[in-house]
Amino acid sequence: MAKFEPILLRNRGVEGARTLKVYEARGGYRAARKTLEMTPDEVVEEVKAANLRGRGGAGFPAGVKWSFLPKEREVTLLCVNADESEPPTFCNRVLMEEDPHQLIEGTIIAAYATQSQIAYIYLRVEFHEQFHILQKAIDEAYAAGYLGKKIFKSDYSLECYIHRGAGAYVCGEETGLIESLEGKRGWPRIKPPFPAVAGLFHRPTVVNNVETLSCLPHIIERGADWFTGIGPPHSAGPKLFCVSGPVKRPGCYEDSMEITVRDLIERDDMGGGMLDGKKIKGVLPGGISMGILTADELDMKMDFEDPRKYGLLGLGTAAAVVIDTETDIRLVLRNMTRFYSTESCGQCTQCREGTSWMDKIAQRIANGAGRMEDLDLLLETARNMGMMPGLSICGLADGATYPIETIVKKFRSELEEAIRNQAPGRSQAALNVLN
């Protein structure tokens, strides 16, 4: 198979790639200049033709999302989601620290296409180094006339600011992000109205993530046909993949979405195989919220459609977490329920209570005091929360339930065996304490 030529990561490792001088020398900002020679509608149509689907998790077509903006509007705002709170996802961090001007150029293109006057980059507060790198690049762009009044000596003006969030997982949801940007608690909003109609400061707002915007310069420069020629038709374009866990080469890699989970783990130019001869028990291929695969399901393609065939919620952030056979699946379950119980904003009753009770049950099982009926209770609780049954405001509840459901269904025999091998009497004692 031919080696994939890096696109989004083409400047990784290049000396001085963070600077405007080197970025421009390697072709940077040509696409932004070309964009300003087009009409905003032409840019939107080009992105639609490229079928650029959002890289933040939902996979919704970016051009279609832009077209939801009201035709008659006075002010439009662009929010760049750089929160990247899905564990353990770090591809946006890599883009910002290795090639910040690529993000700025993509932001300019998206802002022009949507006729946004201000762009806010919502940055996770833990990204200290990335903040300084990105701010320096923004300062360079302002000094060169690429941001601010009449950018590139055109009639279009764009202001760009970094807003540092407080690090809440729920702020990865666009309305939660908007609430935080407004200085409020990061609670997702009830919809409608959707952000395209009434978003930040009740103005029409577009929210896109870092990787999505980083694709735009390449689409504008090389064309939609080039972009759709990469990967399957429904999952076009380059994609960044994270690999973590007991593999030889954990890190962030780029390829088309034709790649399988097995290739991502085993290829020498990617994960490089398992560390110290360990064996795979399971893989969480899209961050933890999409669900889990068994060792027999590693031929799943890392695209937007194939994961659903394996009972997963979707591709998510394409951050693969490898779990080896030495890991107790009960502890995996416990870590997940603890995370979602902590990160639920508490606004929706079934999410607040459901994540809390799933955590208590998983804790009981992990402590060797589980009951067989606990497994069915976890599944029942998971079925009764989330946007899918139409009960919650945002998708956090769905993200909380898919990993739990898939672990219980796919590793039930291991969980049942662990419960059978518990010390006698532990179950009732733990139940008395929890009640």
* Residue 72, CA distances (Å) to 49, 68, 126, 203, 208 in order: 24, 12, 38, 12, 21
Share of the chain above pLDDT 90, in %: 90
- What pLDDT does residue 185 have? 92
Residues of the chain whose pLDDT is less than 50? 433, 435
Which string of b and e fits 352-364 if b means at least 16 CB within 10 Å?
Answer: bebbbbbbebbbb
Closest C-alpha to 210, from 280, 262, 303, 134: 134
CA distances from 165 to 126, 132, 177, 267, 344 (A): 9, 15, 8, 36, 17
Q: In the β-sheet with 77-82, what is the strand arrangement from edge to edge?
A: 159-164, 118-123, 77-82, 205-209
How far apart CA 130 and CA 133 sit, in angstroms, is: 5
pLDDT given at position 22: 98
Q: How far is CA 342 from the centre of its chain?
A: 19
The pLDDT tens digits of the residues spanning 57-100 come to: 888 999 999 999 999 999 999 999 999 999 999 999 999 999 99
Fold annotation for 329-434: de novo design (two linked rop proteins) (1.20.1440)
Q: Domain-by-domain residue ranges, the chain?
A: 20-228, 235-318, 329-434
Three-state SS for 232? Answer: coil
Q: Residue 429: its pLDDT value, please? A: 55
Query: What's the CATH architecture for 20-228?
Result: 3-Layer(aba) Sandwich (3.40)
Give the pLDDT score at 56: 86
Please choose, from the candidates 389, 311, 312, 384, the residue with its C-alpha nearest in 3D space to the C-alpha of residue 351.
384
Grouping H, G, I as helix, E, B as strand and the rest as coil, residue 267 is coil
Other residues' Cβ atoms within 10 Å of the Cβ of residue 326: 9
How far apart are the C-alpha atoms of 296 and 291, rounded to whole Å? 15
pLDDT of 433 reads 47
Second-level CATH architecture of 235-318: Roll (3.10)
Nearest to 50 by CA among 191, 195, 317, 231: 231
| 243-268 tens-digit pLDDT | 999 999 999 999 999 999 999 999 99
Q: How do 118-123 and 77-82 pair as beta strands?
A: parallel
**Inter-helix orientation angle 210-222/100-114, to 10°:** 80
